[in-house]
Amino acid sequence: MHIACYKGTDKIAGSEKHDEDPIYSVEYQDVIALFNKDLRKGLAALYEQYGRALYGFSVTHFHINEEEGYDVLYQTLETVGKVINRYEFTSEKHFANWLFKIHKNNIFQLLRTKKSREPGEPDFTFGDWEAEMKEDADAAVSLEPFKNLINHLSNINPYEDNLVQNHLMGAMEKALQTLPDTERDLLLLRMNDYSYDEIADMLGIENNQLKVKFLRAKAKVEKKTLAILKETYNETAG
């Protein structure tokens, strides 16, 4: 994997080429070795090799601002910096996956904290729900049977940890499990704001009407989620 030398005070030691040719190959083992020799250089290498992409990913896909992106990246690099010398990895991919997972967890932690505190979550009308369902042209699903439920749930903050939110998340989990793997992956990756081309690449499929497939999968999960929730609340009322 090639990275650009970080110009300025954080040039990475150990490379045969410095100022003239800034591009050279650094493996994850070199990053770890640098941490042992020189913490600052190790951090610089970690940032260059992985941190830039992690920052770009969090800001682009999760629509967080520069300050939030900074905080999340800091948290990730801090966690990694604290433990990087204690662990072994089987491959570059192993290291990258581990690092990426830590970062994603930190992004979600930020979102949970931020959104659970935000007042005035979007106040959706029943019409908004119907409009969303109608995006799937094939969906002959009427949401009328769920109108009371939707109105009841419309003011909840889905990020706030409480009984209603737990029911919602549980219902959604069950609904997602009814989808075939590829449809579920398509849905969840699209919710992570990957493009259809990127999703096709990741899933090893053709980008053939993926948007239509996404809308159908979403409609299926929505209908199933609402059905499970309605059953839950009917059982509770009964």
Partner 1 sequence: MKQQDNIQPFETWMRAYLATNSQTNAAGIDKESELVFSKHFDATLPAEKAQTLLSTLEKHLTEPTLGSLVHTAMARAGKSAAQVQNATGLPPSLLEDIREDVAFPNSIPVRSLVKMMHLLQITLDDALAAINTTYERLRDETRMMQAVPAEIRPVFRRNTPSHVNDPESIRFISDAGYLYKNRKALDKFTARLCELYEEML
Q: Report the residue number, 24 or 194, with the smaller CB distance to partner 1.
A: 194
Residue 15 CB, shortest distance to partner 1, in Å, is: 18
Residue 220 CB, shortest distance to partner 1, in Å, is: 11
Max CA distance (Å), the chain:
76
User: Hey, what are 68's tokens?
Assistant: 């939030």
Residue 179 CB, shortest distance to partner 1, in Å, is: 12
Q: Report the residue number, 18 or 112, with the smaller CB distance to partner 1.
A: 112
Neighbours of 79 (CB within 10 A): 15
Residue 216 CB, shortest distance to partner 1, in Å, is: 13
Cα dist from 94 to 42, 77, 125, 212, whole Å = 19, 17, 45, 34
Block residue for tokens 């729900």: 129
Q: Report the residue number, 6 or 24, with the smaller CB distance to partner 1.
A: 6
Q: How far apart are CA 75 and CA 54, in angstroms?
A: 12
SS3 of residue 61 by DSSP: helix
Q: Report the residue number, 20 or 181, with the smaller CB distance to partner 1.
A: 181
Q: Report the residue number, 16 or 181, with the smaller CB distance to partner 1.
A: 181
Sign of the C-alpha dihedral computed for residues 183, 181, 184 and 59 taken in this order: negative
Residue 5 CB, shortest distance to partner 1, in Å, is: 14
User: Hey, what are 189's tokens?
Assistant: 């990756």
Q: How far apart are CA 3 and CA 48, in angstroms?
A: 7
Cβ distance 154 to 123 under 8 Å? yes
Q: Report the residue number, 78 or 144, with the smaller CB distance to partner 1.
A: 78
Residue 77 CB, shortest distance to partner 1, in Å, is: 6
Cβ distance 129 to 143 under 8 Å? yes
SS3 of residue 20 by DSSP: coil
Q: Report the residue number, 16 or 67, with the smaller CB distance to partner 1.
A: 67
Residue 235 CB, shortest distance to partner 1, in Å, is: 21
